[in-house]
């Protein structure tokens, strides 16, 4: 939206300058600048869409931090698998397989719930934790 506003203002300023100076080349220069700006914005959108379609790790997610947060929990003995992907531009998903450090069902369920809260605090909207 900021690009749209900037481009609109640039077009209006160019129009006023052309009316005042009668220099029509201003239109070409501003049009070229707007075209370059649109290409820049389009590549950003394509990059983000490609990450979503290929279920890649979102750019603002530090996978090492996520892995460390799970492994450092006292109820986790082993982290077997960790999958992180973008569902859309604002929704992220995490799926992991853990081995609990305790064998009690209540403790294991408490660990799962605590990990779910930790991962949601890290920005994940969908959290799936499998216990093995």
Is the predicted pLDDT of residue 48 greater than 90, yes or no? no
Q: Region 57-68: what's the mean pLDDT?
A: 90
Which of 28, 26, 30, 27 shows the shortest CA–CA distance to 7?
A: 30
Can you name the residues that pair with 127 across neighbouring β-strands?
94
Which of 119, 73, 114 shows the shortest CA–CA distance to 92?
A: 119
Cβ–Cβ < 8 Å for 34, 7? yes
pTM equals 0.68
Q: What is the pLDDT of residue 60?
A: 86
Q: What is the pLDDT of residue 57?
A: 85
Q: What is the pLDDT of residue 31?
A: 92
What is the Cα–Cα distance from 117 to 119, expressed in whole angstroms? Answer: 5
Give residue-wise pLDDT tens across range 117-127: 999 999 999 99
What is the Cα–Cα distance from 88 to 98, expressed in whole angstroms? Answer: 26
What is the Cα–Cα distance from 10 to 92, expressed in whole angstroms? Answer: 36
Measured over all CA atoms, what is the biggest interatomic distance in the chain, rounded to whole angstroms?
Answer: 82
Q: What is the pLDDT of residue 113?
A: 93
CATH 3.30.70.1350 fits domain 63-131: yes
Is the predicted pLDDT of residue 102 greater than 80, yes or no? no
Q: Where are the domains of the chain?
A: 2-53, 63-131
Give residue-wise pLDDT tens across range 4-45: 888 899 999 999 999 999 999 999 999 999 999 899 989 988
């Amino acid at each position: 939206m900021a690009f749209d506003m900037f481009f609109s203002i640039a077009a209006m300023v160019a129009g006023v300058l052309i009316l005042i100076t009668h220099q029509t080349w201003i239109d070409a220069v501003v049009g070229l600048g707007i075209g370059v700006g649109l290409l820049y914005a389009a590549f950003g959108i394509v990059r983000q869409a490609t990450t979503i379609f290929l279920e890649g790790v979102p750019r603002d997610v530090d996978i090492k931090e996520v892995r460390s947060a799970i492994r450092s929990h006292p109820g986790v003995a082993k982290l077997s698998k960790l999958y992180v992907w973008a569902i859309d531009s604002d929704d992220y998903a995490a799926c992991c397989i853990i081995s609990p450090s305790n064998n009690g069902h209540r403790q294991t369920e408490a660990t799962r719930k605590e990990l779910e809260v930790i991962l949601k605090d890290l920005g994940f909207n969908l959290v799936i934790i499998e216990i093995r």
